[in-house]
A and B are shown apart, each in its own frame.
Chain A
């Protein structure tokens, strides 16, 4: 089991090497799907192994998988399967339309796998320095994917993305160093850079320096997690990236960065008490939902619409983490999973819409349900999942977060969050209705690729199943929550 945990992050790199060697073809694309399925299977095996609260990994702390890590690996695996499964037909179509060259296809195949591997290392390491290196590596792997189209907009988006994300993550590094300094100061060795070691020495850490480090860590990882007011790069980057990459960036990369904050939060709470991080995260969370709502009202671009919806969901997850009770944190983690599925499907479907109408303007998308019934239904259901409608899983997780917040005596926060969520709901509903029902058109022959259809319908089914019954996942969530709640 230790070996599996250590080798699993290398699996995507094997698929990446295949793409590097043979370029983009149906065969290497299928190898990527197989690799992602392997990641998911490995994540499930590790979940079963750790659900009792056990930990697997290498002795040195390089790899340490506890229930929270295993849960995140499952989330990454699911989103990777959706993204690579959809990419088989999407990148194939881009190539056959001449939108991208074979060499771009090759670098796409390589960079996506490096990106997935970096996220897996970030969630399976115990070493907070490695976590930082891995999160920074995700920026580098995705930089050229964001700028892949090389249009003016793509150049602008990739510049803003790399500068803002790198500066943000550098600031997180300063926070990491300061926390390491306080632990060295009370006699910790190099091992005190490990999260599990740090959790054992919280009694002696200097509160003043920890508070300073906490602020820097929130700025750093909060930037990559897309929390307002540090979100400005996100709508640009997520709207310019190719659809399957947007799916991964919105669906999991944001959550992986937030996972870093969640780990740090348990250390910081133990040193300076829970109020400090709670206040910061509530402010950022509410601000994120508010910013998303106000910009969704005036939104005219459907990919940016999905990006702002991610900011809303990250805000909600931040509120759940801020509350800090098992119910709310469990809701936040479940929301991470539900969002990974729903947002991946929505972004992938937006790729087919872009192939269909050629622009990302909402106004150019008309009567999708009549013209392209299959694509319209998939996109509509994904939007419904993102709106938090039952029976999709985000209904249950939103309810858990809000109930947790109310039960923890944060009634005002709950009321404000619900109010802002209604704004987002109304705005998304209006945009979705315009795209699906507005205008007129005649039925076009369906051109949704087979791999895209199978992947997206399968993912939507999974979202419904998760919304109806958690099954064995309930135990994993409970074990994962225990890792980061006192």
Chain B
């Protein structure tokens, strides 16, 4: 990273991505959580964009456009429309209360910096030194998946996980070959759409999306 402005912008984008992960843990209204995720998608896209300009390479820039369109615009818009339509989906109902969640998120970030050390050491530039931030977002995504038991918050956790992984991929390798980025983006889009449809079925069958009510199948 020779250009100091680029390096500073990169740092800002990575910090935004990590901060928005805490935003997802902190906010109670689902619409705010979706906004935080959209902002995070934009931050991940800017990381790819900056790396593409810095390395004079086209593929990360194309990937940035793809990530922005999908994670900062399209998915947040369809999720937000769903949340506005349905009363039941508006507020989260955390199993673990919010201050404890934030504390756990902080702990997971420390853990990410401890485990990501080897990866950070392997790379030589500022980008790979920031990999632990991506791992922290992945771990916070898993935390949300485990502790938030409503359909929409599970989707939010999954998107956090995806954003964290995308960030790690950009920071370590400046993204994968474009054909795989495309395939991955298509898969992600379809998974979100499938989960939306199942959420709709859940509402019509159970009248709620609280996953703790899913007790039909057990041994």
Contact = CB atoms under 8 A, between A and B. Distances in A.
Q: How large is the interface on B (under 10, 10 to 19, 20 to 34, 35 or more residues)?
A: 35 or more
Contact of B195 (A127, A163, A177, A185): A163
Given A163-B145, A209-B119, A212-B118, A139 B177 contact: no
Contacts of B114: none
A240 B216 CA distance: 11
Contacts of B118: 206, 208-209, 212
Nearest to B115: A212
A406 interface: no
A174 B142 CA distance: 14
A299 B183 CA distance: 40
Contact of B214 (A144, A159, A182): A159
Interface in A206-227: 206, 208-209, 212
Contact of A129 (B122, B162, B180, B219): B180
B198 A153 contact: no
A206 B122 contact: yes
Contacts of B217: 153, 156-157, 160, 235-236, 239-240
Interface string B117-161: 011001100001000000000100010010000010010001001
B190 A167 contact: no
Contacts of B158: 163, 166-167, 170
A139 B180 contact: no
A252 B44 CA distance: 36
Given A174-B168, A212-B119, A129 B183 contact: yes
Given A129-B177, A174-B168, A177-B168, A155 B122 contact: no
A64 interface: no
Interface in B73-94: none
A163 B119 contact: no
Given A155-B201, A177-B168, A304-B219, A209 B187 contact: no
20 contacts: A127-B180, A130-B180, A130-B183, A147-B198, A151-B205, A153-B217, A159-B195, A162-B191, A162-B198, A163-B154, A167-B142, A167-B158, A170-B161, A177-B173, A180-B173, A181-B122, A182-B122, A184-B172, A209-B119, A298-B219
Main secondary structure of the interface of A (DSSP, over half): helix
Contacts of A159: 151, 195, 198, 202, 211, 214
Interface residues of A, number: 51
A113 interface: no
A143 B165 contact: no
Interface in A86-130: 127, 129-130
A66 interface: no
A37 interface: no
